[in-house]
Amino acid sequence: MKEPTAKHTVTLDTLTALCKRRGFIFQTAEIYGGLNGFYDYGHLGVLLKNNLRQAWQDSLYNDKGEVVFLEGALIGPEALWKASGHIEHFHDPMVDCMSCKHRFRADQIDLEKACPHCGNKKWTDVRNFNMMLKTTIGAAESSGSIGYLRPETAQSIFVNFKNILSTTRVKIPFGISQIGKAFRNEITPKQFLFRMREFEQMELEWFCKQENVKEMFDFWRTKRMQFYHNLGINKDAIRIRSHEGEELAHYSTQTDDIEYQFPFGWKELEGIAHRGNFDLRQHSTHSGKDLQVFDEETKSSYIPDVIECSVGSDRLLLALLFDSYHEDVVDNEQRSYFAFLPRLAPIKAAFFPLMKKLQEPMRAIYRQVRTVIPHIQFDVSGSIGKRYRRQDEIGTPLCFTYDFESETTQTVTVRDRDTTKQERIAIDQIIPYIQKALQNT
């Protein structure tokens, strides 16, 4: 396996601190000491994540079949999770150090060696730990029914399969897609957004006939790789790896991971899995409801197979942050910038008057542009260099400056984030200029 190269110019700690300082992402309930594995998104984080969600939805359109949307509840009844196999199978092996009481995932450390935390070698037996978060629904704890926060969004899709089939006019092959929260009581949440206890998934369940599974699997593999290329992610940092043997989840007969080369190694970004007809069959058996589709050609009913494409929004956002982060020297000053594609950048453009006394005309321009292009900023504080650096640091692709020449020529300068090159354009060309940058990416 190819080892990670040192191509990343930012460490996880620096990136985490930058995300907090510039208002992308905060630790949940930080003022109370935080909650391990939980994060809150600030303004820029929300905008960036929304752009990724939109890009993902757009990427699902295809010439094979329709894709419809669902937004399912976050909690499901116990019966659902029994049928899906999560109560029985959704666990990780756990081990404790008897000396320092630290808890580890047994498959992530070498039990032949001493505890990486305290240096003693006194392990408990390895036990299975179910990762679902359980809750009691109803006013009285004793008589309430048990529910679980969903560990994957997919199950809402399977249990709604019949509802969706009967209310939309979709025909096999077709997809049901969903963006929503998932919860896992991870034994060791770590690496910022990489392994969280509450996170968001973007999942597509693609329903097809069994005889078309291979063709469909290959089709989605190619299409999903194209998605990452279209986000501008470095092609050398993305690869596909097939699961083998025991690595396969309980529901899957074939899984390929799309992996990203994080600074801490090649790691899964997205799983593409052939789930067979396991889920629909299980829910059909456990609920007693018929979840078959009728084939007009053969005049017979069958349970379709499923190909699933599942990516975590937060993990993808982390990959994008690592991939887009750059450092260079401009005018003898070190700067850092996120080279987001304009359509993904949280802020599309910034507007500066060169000096405070020029702020009124530039503010008027900014207000007008804002009616057409949302998510732009106006900034008058500090030197022009400082203002450029602030925008670079949050990945704003374009900065417009109103200077003394603007007064007489009705022009502004526009500076490109990546090259730092500037050109002068007419004020009435600002909106088309930004629109063109957004369309071209």
Residue 3 Cβ vs ligand GAP, minimum distance, rounded to whole Å: 21
CA-to-CA distance for 83 and 118, rounded, in angstroms? 41
Residue 359 Cβ vs ligand GAP, minimum distance, rounded to whole Å: 43
CB nearer to ligand GAP: give 196 or 412.
196
Give me the residue label for tokens 């450029």. Answer: 388
The residue from 312, 342, 395, 397 that contacts ligand GAP (CB under 6 A) is 312
The reply to whether 184 sits near ligand GAP by the rule CB under 6 A is: yes
Q: Which residues contact 187 (CB under 8 A, 6 or more apart)?
A: 92, 94, 103, 104, 105, 129, 131
The one-letter amino acid code at 348 reads K
CA-to-CA distance for 21 and 281, rounded, in angstroms? 49
| Nearest residue to the partner ligand GAP, using Cβ | 312
Residue 241 Cβ vs ligand GAP, minimum distance, rounded to whole Å: 12
CB–CB of 350/387 below 8 Å?
yes
The one-letter amino acid code at 139 reads A
Question: CA of 433: how far to CAs of 47, 348, 387, 428, 438, in Å?
Answer: 21, 11, 21, 9, 9
The reply to whether 270 sits near ligand GAP by the rule CB under 6 A is: yes
Segment near ligand GAP (CB under 6 A), from 164-172, 198-206, 238-246, 326-334?
A: 198-206
- Total site size for ligand GAP, rule CB under 6 A: 19
Closest CA to 181 of 278, 41, 284, 325: 41
The reply to whether 154 sits near ligand GAP by the rule CB under 6 A is: yes
Segment near ligand GAP (CB under 6 A), from 27-35, 142-150, 262-270, 351-359?
A: 262-270
Segment near ligand GAP (CB under 6 A), from 13-21, 75-83, 163-171, 311-319?
A: 311-319
| CB neighbour burial string for 77-94, b if at least 16 within 10 angstroms, e if fewer | eeebbebbebbeebebeb
Q: First vs last Cα of the chain: how many Å apart? A: 33
Segment near ligand GAP (CB under 6 A), from 164-172, 268-276, 371-379, 424-432?
A: 268-276
Site for ligand GAP in 350-409 (CB under 6 A): none
The reply to whether 195 sits near ligand GAP by the rule CB under 6 A is: yes
The reply to whether 186 sits near ligand GAP by the rule CB under 6 A is: yes
Return the half-sphere exposure (C-beta side, CA atoms, 13 A cut-off) of residue 181: 15
Torsion of CA 318, 320, 322, 324, to 10 degrees: -150
Site for ligand GAP in 200-229 (CB under 6 A): 201, 203
The reply to whether 268 sits near ligand GAP by the rule CB under 6 A is: yes
The reply to whether 199 sits near ligand GAP by the rule CB under 6 A is: yes
CA-to-CA distance for 228 and 225, rounded, in angstroms? 5
CB nearer to ligand GAP: give 315 or 348.
315
The residue from 162, 243, 283, 315 that contacts ligand GAP (CB under 6 A) is 315
The reply to whether 162 sits near ligand GAP by the rule CB under 6 A is: no
Q: In this structure, how many other beta carbons lie within 10 angstroms of the beta carbon of residue 296?
A: 8
CB nearer to ligand GAP: give 185 or 292.
185
Return the half-sphere exposure (C-beta side, CA atoms, 13 A cut-off) of residue 365: 26
Segment near ligand GAP (CB under 6 A), from 79-87, 212-220, 303-311, 422-430?
A: 303-311
The one-letter amino acid code at 181 reads K
CB nearer to ligand GAP: give 39 or 400.
39
The residue ranges that bind ligand GAP (CB under 6 A) are 152, 154, 184, 186, 195-196, 199, 201, 203, 268-271, 308, 310-312, 314-315
